[in-house]
Amino acid sequence: LAGFLKHVADVWVKTDRETLEAMKKIVAKLSSSKGGLTRKNRERLRPFDDPAVVEAFLDLPDRIRREVPAMRVSERSKAVLAQTAVAIALLQTTAIRIRNLCGLGMREHLIPRGNEVFLVIPGDQVKNGEEIEAVLPPEVVDLLAWYIREHRSRLMTAETDALFPGANGQTKSPVTFGPQISATVKRFLGIEVNPHLFRHAMGKLFLDVRPGDYETMRSVLAHRDIETTKSVYTGAESVAAGRHFNAVIAARRAARAAPVRARSKRKGAA
Instruction: Compare 164 and 34 and report the one with higher pLDDT.
Output: 164
Question: Distance between CA 39 and CA 111 in Å, rounded?
Answer: 39
State mean pLDDT over 210-230: 76
- Specify whether the CB–CB gap between 64 and 78 falls below 8 A: no
Tell me if 214 sits within 8 A of 241, measured CB to CB. no
In the chain, pLDDT over 90 holds for what percent of residues? 49
Tell me the pLDDT tens digit for each residue of 70-82: 999 999 999 999 9
Higher pLDDT, 120 or 225: 120
The alpha carbon dihedral of 76, 79, 85, 86 has a sign of negative
What's the mean pLDDT when you consider all of the chain? 86
Q: Helices (H) and strands (E) in the chain — how many of each? A: 13, 3
The DSSP line for 238-266 is HHHHHHHHHHHHHHHHHHHHHHHHHHHHH
Q: Record the pTM.
A: 0.75
Cβ atoms of 98 and 87 within 8 Å: the answer is no
Please list the residues that pair with 118 across neighbouring strands: 111, 135
**pLDDT over 80 (residue 34):** no
